[in-house]
Amino acid sequence: MLISNNTVVTMNFVVSSADGTQIDSSKESEPMIFLQGSHFLIQGLEDELEGKTVGDKFIIDIEPSLAYGERHDELVQAVPKSMFEDMDVEPGMTFRATTDDGEQSVMIIDITDDEVIVDGNHPLSGLTLTFDVEILAVREATEEEITHGHPHTEEGCGHTH
């Protein structure tokens, strides 16, 4: 069976930055299982999976525009430290912030005496990512999985809809 929209795919992957630094891998844990076409994956990887089948292995470089986007300097901002009163903040911590454009995830990247520097860019924005992928299984999704937008296991999907 070929991977297409509304198929459930099981795959192993390793993702690295252009300099070869491993970012994530399913090989030391459980394979990834997802519903193709649900936009669970970055666009470049989802596009590349289309038409692949069990046993296929490939390596692909995905540019930022089809991954997590380009970095935007204006998303790095200094905010008054007083906004984090009663909180013990450290670089690397993430928060949901309310902005003029709605909710946004931000990461603390630095702390000074008076300010906290936050970055609203995705941590992988601006990076070309290399994926090393092996397709382990492909099956048709059930109507329930298509409706819910994700695959279910034999135990269900672990939550109520």
- Domains within the chain, CATH numbers bracketed: 7-68+125-148 (3.10.50.40), 73-119 (2.40.10.330)
Helix (H) or strand (E) holding 9: strand 7-17
The pLDDT score that the predictor gives to residue 95 is 87
Secondary structure E strands in 18-152:
22-25, 32-35, 57-62, 76-80, 94-99, 102-111, 115-119, 129-140
Pairing verdict, β 102-111 and 22-25: unpaired
Q: Rounded to 5 degrees, what are φ and ψ at 143?
A: -60, -40
The pLDDT score that the predictor gives to residue 107 is 94
- Using an 8 Å Cβ cutoff, are 131 and 22 in contact? no
Residues of the chain below pLDDT 50? none
Tell me the three state secondary structure of residue 118: strand
The pLDDT score that the predictor gives to residue 87 is 86
The pLDDT score that the predictor gives to residue 160 is 55
* Tokens representing residue 33 in the block: 């299982």
The pLDDT score that the predictor gives to residue 158 is 53
The pLDDT score that the predictor gives to residue 49 is 98
Tell me the three state secondary structure of residue 145: helix
**Interior angle at CA 94, CA 35 and CA 87, nearest 5:** 145
Q: Indicate yes or no: pTM above 0.85.
A: no
